[in-house]
Amino acid sequence: MIKIKCHGAYYYRQEAQKGIKNYEMTVNAASLGIFEEHSFKYIGCDNDGKQQFAERKFLNVRGKLKKRLLPILLAKKYPDFARVRYVVIDEITGPDVNLEELPLQLKSRRQLAEIVRRESIPVNPEEYFDIDELRTDIMEYRVNPETWHRFKSIRDKRRAEEQQFRLLNDIAEEQELPPEKPRSGIIDL
């Protein structure tokens, strides 16, 4: 059995009122297999004219949580629940989970800090409020360090401005700001 610790926000509706509320949730699942998806891409025809397709398997943990599983759990816990706004995966644990084989987008902050240390990636995980932003920076550094370095100063400036905003408005570090649009795509297995 695995446990997925996540947080985010949901839209609520209560009589004439509606808005956004935050949530924290631990989701239990038998395995990560429930989050596996398949896609098929047409790649052409063989010599006999028979159509050929390439199959791709990937984990869509965030998507399945948001669209299928969290609505059930949040509706059970919060009577005013309308729909999920966003979900952030904080950590996946369990005896059946091989932490080394987890895709980068599913690793916890502690695991990401270990990757940064082990691979000498020039980021400070403590500076990141949003775990998805840390995941994206690590992935982009791995793919193209030159481009990552070119935009590092812009990202550092944005994080410093966000830190200053939090201080000036007395916002605790635990409070989530809405996530920015992700810069990365789907996780391949």
Is 90 exceeded by the pLDDT of residue 83?
yes
Q: Looking at residue 6, what DSSP letter applies? A: E
Quick: pLDDT tens for 145-175: 998 888 888 888 888 888 888 788 877 655 5
Instruction: Please enumerate in sequence order all residues whose Cβ is within 8 A of that of 188, keeping only pairs 6 or more positions apart, or say none.
Output: 56, 57, 58, 103
**Mean of pLDDT values over 13-19:** 90
| Spatial contact of 32 and 58, defined as CB atoms under 8 Å apart | no
pTM of this prediction exceeds 0.75: no
Q: Which two tokens stand for residue 179?
A: 């996530």
Which of the listed ranges 30-44, 48-62, 76-90, 119-133 does the model predict with the highest average pLDDT? 76-90
What's the confidence (pLDDT) of residue 173?
57
What's the confidence (pLDDT) of residue 12?
94
Q: Which residue type does 83 have?
A: R
81 sits in the region (left: phi over 0; alpha: psi -120 to 50; else beta) called: beta
Q: Which residue type does 106 have?
A: L
Is 60 exceeded by the pLDDT of residue 187?
no
| Spatial contact of 27 and 98, defined as CB atoms under 8 Å apart | no
**Mean of pLDDT values over 77-90:** 92
Which of the listed ranges 22-26, 52-56, 151-155 does the model predict with the highest average pLDDT? 22-26
Cα distance between residue 103 and residue 100, in whole Å: 8
Picking from 128, 127, 90, the residue whose alpha carbon sits closest to that of residue 111 is 90
What's the confidence (pLDDT) of residue 154?
87
Measure the CA dihedral 112/118/123/129, to 10°: 20
What's the confidence (pLDDT) of residue 180?
54
Quick: pLDDT tens for 57-73: 888 888 999 999 999 99
Beta bridge partners of 55: 40
The dihedral built from the CA positions of residue 107, 113, 117 and 120, taken in this order, carries a sign that is: positive
What's the confidence (pLDDT) of residue 177?
52
What's the confidence (pLDDT) of residue 176?
53
Cα distance between residue 18 and residue 188, in whole Å: 37
State the DSSP H helix or E strand holding residue 157, giving kind and residue range, or none if neither.
helix 145-168
